[in-house]
Structure 1
Amino acid sequence: MLTTAISFGHNPDLQEELIQKLSDKKVAAIGIAVGRYIDKIPENIIKKANSVDLTLVEIPWDIPFVDITREIGEKIIGSELMLLEKMEKFRNQLMDVALSGEGLGLLAQTLSQLISNPCFIVNEHLQIVIYPTDFGTKEREIKKLLGAFSKSNRSQDLIKGGDKKSSNILDDRGEKIGAFAPIVAQGDLLGYLIVFEKNKKMDKVDYLVLEYGATVAALEILKKSKDERALDRLESDFVHDLIFSEDMTEQNAAERALFLKFDPAAPHIIVTIDIGDFSDYLRKSQVSSEVDIQILKQKLFYTAHKKLSDSHLKFVSSRRSDKIVFVIEVGESYDLTPIKDIFEELRDHIARNFQDITVSVGISSLCMSVEHIPKGYRETEKAIKIGRILSGKNKVTCFDELGVYQILFNLKEDEEIKDFIERQIGRLLKLKNNKRNELTHTLNTYIELGGNTSKTAEALFVHRNTLNYRLRTLNNLLKQDLHNPHTLLNLAIALKLLRLQNK
């Protein structure tokens, strides 16, 4: 502010009031012309200005104010012009990064170079996503910076208030050690750009660059998310056609799977994960919002997807209603055990992390070509159904391990099958519960152990005489010779069919 002091030159109260008001308004300095209305700046003004830390400039009367304002104006305009030119240059560089398609890594690297300090990208949970490796930043320095940032609620206040501007990060002593800008898109907080003020103090341009970089980061994240969703949809549609289209050929599959890293010439197995009683779970957990239901299914899908990715399996996948389907590439002489182990670990992980949700898993036999994949998918569904019948929910069932159940499952409702069961073990089924269960278990164990009475008695934890008594009872009841291999085969089939029917 420049003044001749004409209005307050001889009024001490007005003089001190003016100084106070200028200080309150954050005025940088006041220049007072002396030689006409006042001979010199009064002591009370000097004292008051010192108390509020306001700069006083004594200007000789013969120096026109216009000369002073012109000089200051030129300095300000020149400085602002340089600032604008510098900012425009930096914006162009960041725009080149955005158009390059190189992603967040190049963005962090470019920002670090422009600001001359290491720049990190972290997610909303303050987990580092990207940081430049060539700035020599030590791990303890990173932890200190993120620790100071996490202690501040300033970041959340900014987002809630809709403010996307940068702000400082202070350490425990209140000293500035960095700055951040929130990465916000469509009202959602996606993460933060964080600068570690290691090499130089940040200036006005650095803060503007940081804010512009946050905008570029938001666009990059949205673009990547959109690309991933498009690829997910492409993959899901492809898997759907693989398992349901009987007309899919190796050539068609190769053309459609160009971007999916799917080799149609390789052998594959199909794995289906079925969420058991999902509607019951939703009812018990009082989840009714369609959005919440889809979020839950998506979490389950990505949990399974991550497990297979971490196991270094090559696969394509699809989510269908309450099922997740994987088409997994394997060798011709693949070992089923590691695959089964992976899905048993996944099943256990889901049980631990998604309370009250159970999953049943079906694994197909080997599909040597894409033409066999629909059959493989049907095998997984059959494996899940039979597995639930034989072992209950939350089981991993391999179609190849089902043996004769593969055939019997399709026959279980046939009237002739019911007659067969009645002829073979009908009298046994008419006994009272305890006796029926005891003799059925004895007969089943005896058949499974090949009619070996010693092993059967040991497996049942009964004395040999007790077993012989039960076998005589069964002989008399069924009117069958339990030493005849053909009789044992018929009884074994009848018992297996009974298990399928009862369930």
Structure 2
Amino acid sequence: ETRKRAIELRENLTSVLIRGGSFADIGIEPERANGVPITVLGANDELLAGPAVDASEVGRSTFVDTATQSPRRLHTAAGEGVAVPVLLRSGYIGCLVTFAPTTLDDEAARLLTIGAISISLVAVSERSVAEAELRTRGEFVNALLAPDADEASIRRRARSSGIDIDAVSLVVVLDPGSGDPRGAAQLAARLSGELRGWSADHADHVVVLAPGTSAVEFKERITRLSGGSLPCAVGIATCAGGSREVRLSHEVARQTATVLHALGRRGDCVEASELGVYRSLFSQAGRNEITSFIDLTIGPVLTHDVERQRDLARTLSVYLEQSQHHARTCSILHIHANTLYQRLRRATQLMGPRWKDPEHSLEVQLALRLHGLMQQLATTATRP
């Protein structure tokens, strides 16, 4: 009888796998064989199928450092139970759990193990499909954002990838800067999943194309998913749909994220329109006006740095950011006080004695910041 139940379960599970069954479909078979409800938990104890269980009593913590698919006996407030881990070569990805009014015998545990093996096969299949889709969509997004993209080819690839580029209402750039890119990639994947959009790595950042979503809705969603702590700078640009508009919106979103990094606002999520005066950096006319302001205000300092291979502009920027506090400036720059005094005297020779006055020092500080932003934007614009 025991052998017969195991054979029948394997046959039923094989049939489910051939039909492309889900985790829930797999869970039903050992449930029928054992006559007790089966719960399927994911890698992070999320409920995939079956009745809810207390993840604090069973789940990932039960199988810390486990390397075998051996069942574990459970003694919890919910009663006596058995849990079997679902393992891949990469490690733990979930478990099957069951509770019963009476103690489950070893045969019930073996049947549960058979179900766990089938869950592993489903997970491998789904992961392979997901990885293939990510590669395909990633290649498409990179082709879409290329400056020499062919419109007809892009639309053919969009259809084959299941992407409706005419429905894109937001283009979002998640830029980790010098931080760990994995957090940005994981967040982008979750966002695209919830918004029914698409995401892909592109150059040094991650791009999300979101259909039918407003900027307000997107901000609410990303705040909830990140727990209010973003692992990257996030630039948002609205989009009217279509490949050309997506490329234009991507450039705006990318520049927005770059400006956030330059302003020391890594971890913020904003639209370009929220950048105030810094929005002028995105247009040629605005850049021309800003360049004139920079030249008029700190031009002699920049010329001095280029001709003498110095970094007086950096010294002045730190000095003004520290409210002209000498000791803090020396500490940040790792220089002696006499060196700072020499540099400040040089700045006075180049810009005149009024540069430290409250009104004029604000203009100098703004000019230094705008100069740094323009350099960063120019650098990112040359990246592939």
Which TM-score band applies after superposition, normalised by the shorter structure? 0.5 to 0.7
For 1:206, which of 108, 117, 126 is the aligned residue? Answer: 108
Counterpart position of 2:328: none
What per-residue deviation string (whole Å, max 9, x for no partner) do you get for residues 386-436 of structure 1? 4555x443244534555543235644797xx4797379999995343431x
Count how many residue pairs are aligned between Structure 1 and Structure 2.
321
Note the residue ranges of structure 2 that are not aligned, 5 or more in a row. Answer: 302-347, 374-384
Q: Is 1:179 the counterpart of 2:82 in the alignment?
A: yes
Q: State the alpha-carbon separation in 2 of the partners of residues 381 and 216 from structure 1.
A: 44
Q: Is 1:263 the counterpart of 2:263 in the alignment?
A: no
On the 8 A contact 2:187/2:226 being kept in 1, the answer is no
Q: State the alpha-carbon separation in 2 of the partners of residues 393 and 86 from structure 1.
A: 61
On the 8 A contact 1:412/1:500 being kept in 2, the answer is no
On the 8 A contact 1:90/1:209 being kept in 2, the answer is yes
What per-residue deviation string (whole Å, max 9, x for no partner) do you get for residues 209-263 of structure 1? 22211111111112212221221222211111111153342x5444323475532
Counterpart position of 1:116: 35
Q: Is 1:393 the counterpart of 2:259 in the alignment?
A: no
1:301: Cα distance to partner?
1.8
Q: Is 1:303 the counterpart of 2:187 in the alignment?
A: yes
**Structure 1 residues 398, 407: CA separation in 2 closer, same or farther (over 3 Å shift)?**
farther
Of structures 1 and 2, the one with the larger relative CO (CA 8 A, separation 6+) is 2
On the 8 A contact 1:409/1:500 being kept in 2, the answer is no
Q: State the alpha-carbon separation in 2 of the partners of residues 115 and 166 from structure 1.
A: 15
For 1:275, which of 165, 168, 176 is the aligned residue? Answer: 176
1:271: Cα distance to partner?
1.8
Counterpart position of 1:463: none
1:105: Cα distance to partner?
0.5
1:101: Cα distance to partner?
1.1
1:192: Cα distance to partner?
2.1
**Structure 1 residues 349, 264: CA separation in 2 closer, same or farther (over 3 Å shift)?**
same
Note the residue ranges of structure 1 that are not aligned, 5 or more in a row. Answer: 1-81, 133-138, 279-295, 445-493
Q: State the alpha-carbon separation in 2 of the partners of residues 502 and 188 from structure 1.
A: 45
**Structure 1 residues 152, 439: CA separation in 2 closer, same or farther (over 3 Å shift)?**
closer
On the 8 A contact 1:169/1:180 being kept in 2, the answer is yes
Counterpart position of 1:372: 245
On the 8 A contact 1:276/1:393 being kept in 2, the answer is no
Q: State the alpha-carbon separation in 1 of the partners of residues 189 and 233 from structure 2.
A: 16
1:191: Cα distance to partner?
2.4
Q: Which has the larger radius of gyration?
A: 1
What per-residue deviation string (whole Å, max 9, x for no partner) do you get for residues 445-471 of structure 1? xxxxxxxxxxxxxxxxxxxxxxxxxxx
* Helix, strand or coil at the partner of 1:227: helix
Could you tell me the percent identity over the aligned residues? 15
Root mean square deviation, CA, Å: 4.3
Q: Is 1:325 the counterpart of 2:200 in the alignment?
A: no
For 1:194, which of 69, 92, 97 is the aligned residue? Answer: 97
For 1:349, which of 218, 228, 241 is the aligned residue? Answer: 228
1:346: Cα distance to partner?
7.2
Q: State the alpha-carbon separation in 2 of the partners of residues 238 and 104 from structure 1.
A: 30
Counterpart position of 1:438: 359
Counterpart position of 2:15: 96
Q: State the alpha-carbon separation in 2 of the partners of residues 423 and 188 from structure 1.
A: 57
**Structure 1 residues 316, 149: CA separation in 2 closer, same or farther (over 3 Å shift)?**
closer
The letter for the 1-side match of 2:143 is D
Q: State the alpha-carbon separation in 2 of the partners of residues 399 and 263 from structure 1.
A: 24
Counterpart position of 2:296: 421
* Helix, strand or coil at the partner of 2:166: coil
Q: State the alpha-carbon separation in 1 of the partners of residues 354 and 50 from structure 2.
A: 73
* Helix, strand or coil at the partner of 1:244: coil
Q: State the alpha-carbon separation in 1 of the partners of residues 206 and 19 from structure 2.
A: 35
TM-score, normalized by length of structure 1? Answer: 0.53
TM-score, normalized by length of structure 2? Answer: 0.67
